[in-house]
Structure 1
Amino acid sequence: MNRHMRSCEKTPGSTPRISRKVDMMVFREMIAVALVQHNLPYSFVEYERIREAFTYANPSIEFWSRNTAAFDVYKIYEREKIKLKEKLAIIPGRICLTTDLWRALTVESYICLTAHYVDVDGVLKTKILSFCAFPPPHSGVAIAMKLSELLKDWGIEKKVFTLTVDNASANDTMQSILKRKLQKDLVCSGEFFHVRCSAHILNLIVQDGLEVISGALEKIRETVKYVKGSETRENLFQNCMDTIGIQTEANLVLDVSTRWNSTYHMLSRAIQFKDVLRSLAEVDRGYKSFPSAVEWERAELICDLLKPFAEITKLISGSSYPTANVYFMQVWAIKCWLGDHDDSHDRVIREMVEDMTEKYDKYWEDFSDILAMAAVLDPRLKFSALEYCYNILNPLTSKENLTHVRDKMVQLFGAYKRTTCNVAASTSQSSRKDIPFGYDGFYSYFSQRNGTGKSPLDMYLEEPVLDMVSFRDMDVIAYWKNNVSRFKELSSMACDILSIPITTVASESAFSIGSRVLNKYRSCLLPTNVQALLCTRNWFRGFQEVGNIHILNSFIIVNLYGFWTAAFRLIARFFLL
């Protein structure tokens, strides 16, 4: 004990141990990971005060340049890319893709390709495969050639299931060319390959409606501008709130022309403070844009009409996207909502609904099949939910719609079944020599059926629907993973369909991160370094911080926080005496 107390660091007056020798390769890799995860510049390793802190912690530190730091990051990127390639090669199902183009602050164009799949553990994953420079022309042919090159580089050209893109005309050409190139390896010859971004479609629908009612919102928009125009008016507005007795931290918000859902938020807030604004009009002679009773009534109708669009936008714009089964009921609810308002007593509302319904009907056929099949593969919905929805929309065409969806599912299931049978036949050919020549396929097919002769799809559809209340938080993909022994190839088909992203939100999220990596302070980054930073960050952390990007008010605060967090953690871990 006496010997221990003389050498123990925690003993008062004891002599501290000499700093241990630092493994520079490990240290450099840790710094490189910190640069990626905390969005630090490569010049971080050359900061004078940082070098002084490292020297104080351990004099044996050997410093390196920003170019060496960039090399270290790229080496990590290449290593992680190999790991991800190996994971994609062994996943049991297929891969769904999203892609989009982005122009950076430096006017350079980038193309983003993201992969969505269910891994071997039955967990839904989203990974950025590429974020590379893509100079003009941005034609459909050029995009198709670039995507084909990327798919070949990743070795997944034979595992593609769907491609989700927005409604740009170049994307229509691109998907047509790419489908022809991949046709022999696509399910059902690529019939389900092209998926339109429903978020973009919703935006088109609402924008058409907002063009009609732009004049009806003018007074409310002018009201918000007036109140937020000076600190004196805001204080007067707050005094009116106190007089009315409204206690809330919420305030008026002004809409943004490029974000239609901000119009909904502006209306809902203004309606919430209608009495406060009336009081403001009485005490402030300069406030002359207070809406009339008719205009307030119209604003409430518009707000009520936009609410379901705002809800589904919130659902599909999250940092992690839900499985495809949740969308059918949401899109159906919007159709019903439009139908409920098409005979409104307000002429402006009728015109708005008419334009929105026309746009809705234009695109409904493009994505209804895949949404319907995803809903059927939810054991809480199945065809019962579709029958209910189609009956509400149009009882005369309900049966026809149900038959159409069932035929599409049988067709798709047949493709999966043939693939499974072919794999089983090739496996049994080497393991079962007693099967007569030519009967391998039959026995493989027969082994996939149960004793009653029913296919897994028939078995699944005949089982009762699960209670939505009891299984409200059910993980549908986990359900199919746990029942793979019962449903066999249907389980694989379900996981692939449920992993389809019906929006390009993942690519948009990547662009949000890209704007932080390639900003006006780091505009000289090479495209290869941009890709290494962004992809590696995504592979390490995913999209879990995407939702916070738009909330942060200061880019500098984010970087300072990441800077000091990284520095102190590294010092504490490696260099304390």
Structure 2
Amino acid sequence: MCLTAHFIDDDWQYHKRILNFRQVPNHKGETIGKVVESLLLSWGIDKIFTLTVDNATYNSGTVTYLDRITKEWGASILGGEFAHEMLCTHCEPYCDGRYDKFKACVEKVKIASKGCVCLDVPIRWNSTYMMLENAEKFQRAFERLRVNDAQYIHYFFDDGNGKKILGPPDFEDWDNVKVFVKFLKLFYEVTLRFFGSLYVTSNVFFHELCVMKIELTNLCESEDPLLSMMAKDMHEKFDKYWGDIEKLNLMMFVAIVLDPRYKLRFLNFWFTKWNPRAVAKNMTKKVKKTFVRMYEYYCDCDGYSNGQGQDGSSSNNVETRPVQDPHALVKSICKMHLAADSLESKLEVERYLVDCVEEDSPNFCILNWWKVNSSKYRLLLKVARDVLAIPLSTVAFESACSTRGRVLDPF
């Protein structure tokens, strides 16, 4: 098991740190939860904002255990309420063993690509797309191999266990490969953006869902029967996993609100477009309420709840000398606190939401924007720092052990 921490520092730089690797005796949720707990305590970490895990069944038990433990610690944001989890042609094996003959065919048909075919890896999410995308470039080489190499045909007689294989790919198969590549490219590109580990990803999740839903809807109406069939099947799975927005972690939507290019209006538009008006209205209210609750939590932590500003100075200007009427003092302190709370807390949230959205551009950096505007939103930036640090996927962490590139040093 690999445990990593993600955070944004005071200079608004995004960081990922591997805390530890640890063998687990079994894959029971509570067992893994106890291991995670011990690792956190060894690092002196007593707060978990969110926990990103994969969709293995045992992880539900892990999250339940950690949710209970962190509530006992009493230090998690909003009581840990949002700390829950937030995913084949047969010719390539032949070429893998007979590379020289295949390379000769590539040269004969004058294919200029410097790459080469790659094998499908069942446990890697992107390997099917990469395999087919590479194979398509070498279609003419495979066709030449079929003519020049008798062993190529013989390879497809059986699978080594006496079971007959369908044969080498023909023209119809290659047409189907083109369809598959077109279909899988959408998910490949979206997944790449989801699985980034060196930049902020929490504020792109909803946009990618929108792109996928629109593309799947369009592909369902494709005139190509194979493409349409795959799209309808995928659309059904998409709706099963992402369709009920009320079951998704609200922090993922708060991240969109904290993107100054979109804010709450962007969410409300797409909620309304894809859901009944009542559902959309309710979800928009839920997201805004969670956003405000997060802000109020940081206000309390920062001292505004007891009339203290960020510098520790009194914000109510009530004299501390003795007064004749203590009841009047109590009323005055309360009145001043409510006024300060309204000005310093709620107005900052409302001001952010009603301010004009920023113009989108290819070079826009959300962390740099918050850094520049830190004096304008003194407390709201603390919400942004924690929410924007949430990673969307665990896959990038697991790739630390990938043989495709060394990430860890020998130690």
Q: TM-score band, normalised by the shorter chain?
A: 0.7 to 0.9
Larger of the two Rg values belongs to structure: 1
Q: What letter matches 1:455 in structure 2?
A: L
1:267 aligns with 2:132: yes
**Offset of residue 350 of structure 1:** 4.6
One-letter amino acid of the structure 1 residue matched with residue 365 of structure 2:
D
Contact 1:336 1:393 survives alignment (8 Å): no
Output the CA distance in 2 between the equivalents of 1:275 and 1:374.
Answer: 47
Counterpart among 402, 405, 427 of residue 284 in structure 2: 402
Partner-residue secondary structure (3-state), 2:126: helix
CA distance in 2, matches of 1:430, 1:424: 5
- Equivalent positions of 1:142-153 (< 5 A) are 142-153=31-42
Write the letter of the residue equivalent to 2:123: T
Call closer, same or farther: CA 1:147–1:445 in 2, change over 3 Å. farther
1:81-96 correspondence to structure 2 within 5 Å: none
- Which residue does 1:173 correspond to in 2? 61
Shift of 1:449: 4.7
The equivalent of 1:422 in structure 2 is 305
1:356 match: secondary structure? helix
SS at match of 1:161: coil
Secondary structure at the aligned position of 2:85 is classed as: strand
Q: Residue deviations 1:492-526, cap 9 Å, x none?
A: 111110001122246424545xxxxxxxxxxxxxx
Amino acid of the structure 2 residue aligned with 1:154: W
Of residues 167, 173, 176, the one that matches 1:295 is 173
Question: Is 1:117 aligned to residue 2 of structure 2?
Answer: no
Amino acid at match of 1:156: I
- Displacement of 1:391 after TM fit? 5.4
TM-score normalized with structure 2 length: 0.78
Unaligned runs of 5+ in 2: 154-166, 321-328
* Cα root mean square deviation, aligned: 3.5
| CA-CA distance at 1:345 after TM superposition | 4.7
Amino acid of the structure 2 residue aligned with 1:115:
A
In the alignment, is the contact (CA less than 8 A) between 1:140 and 1:172 conserved in 2?
yes
Deviates more, 1:125-134 or 1:187-196: 125-134
2:217 is equivalent to residue 363 of structure 1: no
Which TM-score applies when normalising by structure 1?
A: 0.58
Aligned counterpart for 1:488 among listed residues 368, 378, 384 = 378
Instruction: Choose between structure 1 and 2: higher helix proportion.
Output: 1
Q: Deviations over 1:104-159 (max 9, x none)?
A: xxxxxxxx33222222333222223333454x2442223333333333343331x3
What's the secondary structure of 1:484's corresponding residue?
coil
More relative contact order, 1 or 2 (CA 8 Å, 6+ apart) = 1
Q: What does residue range 225-304 of structure 1 map to in structure 2 within 5 Å?
A: 225-242=93-110, 246-284=111-149, 287-288=152-153, 289-304=167-182
Secondary structure of the corresponding residue to residue 238 of structure 1: helix
Change (3 A) 1:431 1:163: same
Q: How does 1:334-353 map to 2 (within 5 A)?
A: 334-345=212-223, 348-353=226-231
Q: Secondary structure at the match of 2:367?
A: helix
SS of 2:51's equivalent? strand
Aligned to 1:458: 350
Displacement of 1:313 after TM fit? 3.0
The residue type paired with residue 28 of structure 2 is S
- Quote the residue 2:323 is aligned against: none
SS in 1 for 2:16: strand
How far, CA to CA, are the matches of 1:154 and 1:252 in structure 2?
44
Q: Please show how residues 7-406 of structure 1 align to structure 2 within 5 Å.
A: 101=1, 112-134=2-24, 136-157=25-46, 159-183=47-71, 184-196=74-86, 200=87, 217=88, 221-242=89-110, 246-284=111-149, 287-288=152-153, 289-318=167-196, 320-345=198-223, 348-364=226-242, 365=245, 366-367=247-248, 369-390=250-271, 393-394=274-275, 398-406=280-288
**For residue 516 of structure 1, what is the aligned residue in structure 2?**
none
Query: By how many angstroms is 1:324 displaced?
Result: 1.6
SS in 1 for 2:109: helix
Residue of structure 2 in register with 1:75 after alignment = none
Q: 2:201, 2:392 within 8 Å by CA — same for their partners in 1?
A: no
Indicate how the Cα distance of structure 1 residues 511 and 265 shifts in structure 2: closer, same or farther if over 3 A, else same. Answer: closer
| Runs (5+) with no aligned partner, structure 1 | 1-100, 102-111, 201-216, 513-548, 563-577
Identity %: 31
Give yes or no for contact 1:326–1:375 (8 Å, CA) kept in 2.
Answer: yes
**How many residues matched?**
380
